[in-house]
Amino acid sequence: MLKSFLIGLAVVLGVAALANGAFMLASPEDWYFAVPGVTTTGAFNQHFIRDIGIIFLFIGAGFLTGAFKPRLRLFTWAAPTIWLSAHALFHFWEVAVGICSASAIGRDFPAVTLPALLGWGLTIWALRQRPIDGAS
């Protein structure tokens, strides 16, 4: 049951990241104004938004690949989790140095911090499930 839940979670994270990335690539200005808090982080920059959109496509592909390819799971979940964690830490840093107000932490949590935490849960589970070297 836990395995099914976690695979489902990876699929949800993957599809959400792919959808976000596709939105960023297809309509960066609409994305900029649609996502709460983005307009307070700097001026609209189509190139930058599309660059990050490409990253989200890779993140989505990683979570989906791990969901369907168990032997690749640890790597394909750890790699996007590391980026998502760095992204979340950057948001905390912006609050710590006064670029953003503390209210940004709560506002950003569902889309920034939570995916990183969920990614760590998936990655740790995948690490525990991998076969021990030399075992058949």
| pLDDT tens, residue by residue, 76-97 | 999 999 999 999 999 999 999 9
Query: Does this model's pTM top 0.75?
Result: yes
Domain that holds residue 8: 2-129
Question: How many Å apart are CA 59 and CA 79, to the nearest integer?
Answer: 8
Q: How far is CA 61 from CA 35, 56, 64, 81, 110, in A?
A: 22, 8, 5, 12, 20
Number of structural domains (the chain) is 1
Does residue 54 lie within any of the structural domains?
yes
pLDDT in tens, 89-128: 999 999 999 999 999 999 999 999 999 999 999 999 999 9
Q: For residues 49 and 28, give the distance between their C-alpha atoms in angstroms, rounded to a whole number.
A: 6
Residues 46-62 pLDDT 10s: 999 999 999 999 999 99
